[in-house]
Amino acid sequence: MHSITLADGTPIPTLGQGTWRLGERGADRGAEAAVLRLGLDLGLTLIDTAEMYGDGGAEEVVGEAIAGRREEVFLVSKAYPQNASRTQLPLACERSLRRMGTDVIDLYLLHWRGAVPLAETAEAMERLKEQGKIRHWGVSNLDVADLEELGPHLKNCAANQVLYNLEARGVEFDLLPFCQNELMPVMAYSPLGQGGALLRHPVIRRVAERQGATPAQVALAWTLRNPGVISIPKASNEAHLRENLGARLMVLTPEDLLELDSAFPPPRHKRSLEMI
């Protein structure tokens, strides 16, 4: 599995497993955990989740999936912005640790910016790191100005998770270059788009046919073409999991990339950061 490194040299796989919408139905949790475990078997050892997903249900599914295998996993979770204060973040972290059945989170993110000052959140994150509750901390859905506001804490911000796919390329104008300059990986959520429209686009289908691949594999390979980008698609079943895995070795040709740029033009000016 291809990997990139955090600023401190810690390796992270560039293709992981997302868990948005998991844990919402109790009857599905066993099957959902089984798919995550199969992903671990196949080398997809980064698992991304959040306390928001399924109101903690996704973290419980992750806990079931990684039971007895914690040392194999690079575990990412995210805290609500209302829980990002110096008093509330330790409590939120403890709840996440308990739901996942572990004593440490590898990468703990602020899910999006709220009313709590970023400096206060960063200080609370540093405290959790000192206590051994988390190994690294980072952010999600923060733009360049927000990252710059971290000031001296920026050097300790390990990653930024943002919406990034062929339909949502605004981060390429300034945020992605900024993060690359800071040696801060960008984690692409919803890399396959929303609702399936992206994967039905005729240009993506044409590139997929030329590559002998699926549209989903093309979309994933496109996010992974840039250095410093991690892609975290969700897989709801074994077929989707294996399909996602097939993207990790795909190399899009210059012809492919030009055709995709024509259908999905890169940004020529600053755009507001897109979120879902």
Please identify every residue annotated as catalytic: 53
Q: What is the rounded CA–CA span in Å between residue 6 and residue 129?
A: 15
Q: Is 275 helix (H, G, I), strand (E, B) or coil?
A: coil
Question: Which pair of tokens denotes residue 256?
Answer: 């492919």
255 exposure class (CB count in 10 Å sphere: 0-12, 13-18, 19+): exposed
Q: What is the rounded CA–CA span in Å between residue 15 and residue 256?
A: 21
Between the alpha carbon of residue 62 and those of residues 31, 43, 105, 160, the distances in Å are: 12, 16, 12, 21
Q: Is 52 helix (H, G, I), strand (E, B) or coil?
A: coil
Q: What is the rounded CA–CA span in Å between residue 199 and residue 202?
A: 8
